[in-house]
Structure formats: C-alpha cells, structure tokens
C-alpha cells in the first residue's frame, strides 16, 4: 500500500491463506457486514495489536501478493435511478457494476437487487475485461430480466451507462473463530479514489475503509474498533462517491460520513483516457 504508514508491513507479517481456504470459510457464514472509515494510522495500530487478545488473522495471498488492486465501474441511468432508489431507502433497488482484479486480469459483472420483501440477491458472472467500461447486449438482456423481477421497467436497462469508477488496494483477512464463534473475514481498502465519467473525482489518501463480515456477533476487529472510538457507518462506494461530487443530489442517508472523512478528500482531475487506466 502506498500510504506510507506501515499498514502494508503489518499485513505482510501475517500468516498467509489461499483463496480456496478463504472461500470455504466464507461459504459457512450467514454474514452481517459492518463498515468503518478509519484513519490509516489507526487501522495500522489496531491491526498490529488486536492479535494479542483475539488470535492472529491470516492474510489472503494470491501469486505472492497480499494487497490486490480493484477497479469497479458503476452503471446507472441518466437520471441516476440506482442512486436515487438507494438515497431514498426504497425497498426495491439495484446496483450494477463491473469489477476488475487488476493483478490477475479477471473481471466480473455484478448485479445486486432488492425486491419488495427486502431480500437481497447478488448475481455475479465472468466478464470480458476489455468490455469492463460498457455493457454488452447480452448483459443488458440479463439486467432487463432482473429489473422485471423487482418491479423496475425492463426497458430502462437500455439507458444504463458508466457513471463512476472506483479504484483501491485491498487486503483480505481471515480471523480465527473461538468460544463457539465462526471464523470471520475483514477487508481493508486503501489508496481509494473515485472518478466520474468526465474524468473528475477525488481521493481519500489518509483513510481506509474497513469492512467486517461475521456470523452476526461482533468480531475481534469490530470490538477493537469500538474500543478505539470507531463505529460502523453507512457507506456505499458508488452512492457516497456520487453524493460527495454532486452536492445537488439527495444525501441525508450518508450525511455522517460525508461530513466526516469525506470532507477531507483531495480533488482529483484527469482526462477520460487516464480515468480508465489501472490504479497503481
């Protein structure tokens, strides 16, 4: 990680776990996710000390790398239907993105929908990395079917276009279970940046986004974060990023994080060609 605070050294010193083991453990979880926006230096201190009381986590390692670069492209309609449904807390809503794993070259199309009963369905399929900035005709057809299932006009799938991309470095940790608790996972995202379709955006150079994934009970990292004064926050990389860049949009849902960490963001300007380059 290029944050210069030693967080990368802490992750490098942890034991390694491979993707198959990580996936097998994750499959056992009925997950509750909690998200935190934390100064990177706080994250380093917590990660370095939490093992003393809760066991040492293992870091996901792929091809010798502990920190992997992610790039996500989010799709929405011209009137930002996906964003507005989320901002208003509507039960029927969706989020659509491509996610590219820069280090391995793999890419996926991910669609998350929530229907009238509040059930969330996440669909994920392999995608051509060369098409990650656009939706193919086959992808639009699949999205149209999913829209119909949640009461959104299927024809709106034809209006979808890339609205924003996010880039960051991610370390994924597997925490041991104990006292009847299942193992849990957490991700730590740093070097965060957001870029809109016009090539403008911002970075959060001094903050990390930590997400914990447990069986419901708070995990070791949750408890350590709480003791340090950090509480879960409502944050969506797409929706919060859009709200941060377009102040005219409804934003009350993310007011806390927008007036906190995101208020210290650093402006980023680039041209559209540069905006589609890999994060370093």
pLDDT tens readout for residues 61-90: 998 999 999 999 999 999 999 999 999 988
pLDDT of residue 48: 85
pLDDT of residue 114: 81
Q: Identify the CATH homologous superfamily for domain 7-275.
A: Hypothetical Protein Pfu-838710-001 (2.40.320.10)
Output 127-135 pairs: Cβ under 8 A, ≥24 positions apart: 127/98, 129/100, 129/105, 131/98, 132/71, 132/73, 132/98, 132/100, 132/107, 133/73, 133/98, 133/162, 133/165, 133/276, 134/161, 134/162, 135/75, 135/160, 135/161
Q: Is the pLDDT of residue 279 over 50?
A: no
**Could you read off the pLDDT of 186-232 as tens digits, one per residue?**
999 999 999 999 999 999 999 999 999 887 788 888 888 999 999 99
Contact 164, 194 (CB under 8 A): yes
Mean pLDDT is lowest, of 20-29, 172-181, 187-196, 256-265, for 20-29
The tokens of 171 are what? 């370390």
Report the percent of the chain where pLDDT is more than 70.
86
For the chain, domain boundaries: 7-275
pLDDT of residue 89: 85
Report the percent of the chain where pLDDT is more than 90.
64
Residues 37, 262: Cα–Cα separation, whole Å: 9
pLDDT of residue 133: 97
More confident residue, 268 or 113: 113
Contact 92, 115 (CB under 8 A): yes
| Gyration radius of the chain's alpha carbons | 19
CA distances from residue 274 to 42, 97, 264, 270, 277 in whole angstroms, order as listed: 32, 20, 24, 6, 5
Buried b (16+ CB within 10 A) or exposed e, 136-149: eeebbebbbebbee
Beta bridge partners of 100: 71, 107
Q: Tell me which H or E stretch contains 183.
A: none
Q: Is the pLDDT of residue 51 over 90?
A: no
pTM of the predicted protein model:
0.88
Residue that has been written with the tokens 């709480």 in this structure: 226
Mean pLDDT is lowest, of 137-141, 143-147, 220-224, for 220-224
Q: Is the pLDDT of residue 18 over 60?
A: yes
pLDDT of residue 278: 40
pLDDT of residue 72: 98
DSSP 191-214: EEEEEETTSEEEEETTEEEEEEEE
pLDDT of residue 221: 86
The tokens of 213 are what? 């994934």
Residues 50, 178: Cα–Cα separation, whole Å: 14
Residues 51, 221: Cα–Cα separation, whole Å: 9
Which residues, other chains included, contact 63 with Cβ-Cβ below 8 Å and sequence gap of 6+?
Answer: 103, 104
Residues 229, 139: Cα–Cα separation, whole Å: 43
Q: Is the pLDDT of residue 162 over 80?
A: yes
């Amino acid at each position: 990680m290029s944050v210069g605070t030693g967080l990368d050294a802490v992750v490098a010193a942890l034991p390694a776990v491979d993707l198959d083991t990580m996936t097998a453990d994750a499959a056992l979880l009925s997950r509750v996710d909690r998200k935190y926006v934390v100064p990177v230096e706080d994250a380093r201190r917590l990660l370095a000390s939490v093992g003393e009381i809760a066991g040492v986590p293992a870091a996901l390692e792929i091809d010798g790398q502990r920190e992997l670069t992610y790039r996500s492209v989010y799709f929405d309609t011209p009137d930002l239907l996906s964003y507005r449904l989320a901002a208003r807390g509507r039960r029927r809503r969706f989020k659509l993105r491509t996610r590219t794993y820069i280090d391995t070259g793999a890419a996926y199309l991910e669609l998350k929908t929530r229907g009238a009963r509040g059930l969330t369905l996440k669909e994920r399929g392999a995608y051509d990395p060369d098409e990650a900035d656009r939706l193919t005709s086959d992808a639009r057809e699949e999205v149209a079917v999913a829209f119909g299932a949640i009461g959104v006009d299927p024809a709106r799938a034809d209006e979808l276009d890339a609205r924003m991309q996010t880039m960051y470095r991610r370390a994924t940790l597997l925490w041991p279970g104990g006292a009847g608790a299942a193992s849990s996972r957490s991700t730590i995202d740093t070097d965060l940046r957001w870029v809109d379709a016009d090539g403008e955006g911002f970075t959060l150079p001094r903050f990390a986004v930590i997400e914990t994934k447990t069986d419901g009970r708070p995990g070791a990292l949750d408890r350590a974060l709480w003791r340090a004064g950090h509480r879960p926050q409502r944050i969506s990389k797409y929706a919060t990023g859009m709200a941060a860049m377009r102040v005219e949009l409804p934003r009350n849902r993310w007011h806390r994080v927008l007036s906190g960490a995101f208020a210290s963001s650093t402006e980023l300007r680039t041209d559209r060609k540069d905006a589609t380059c890999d994060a370093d």
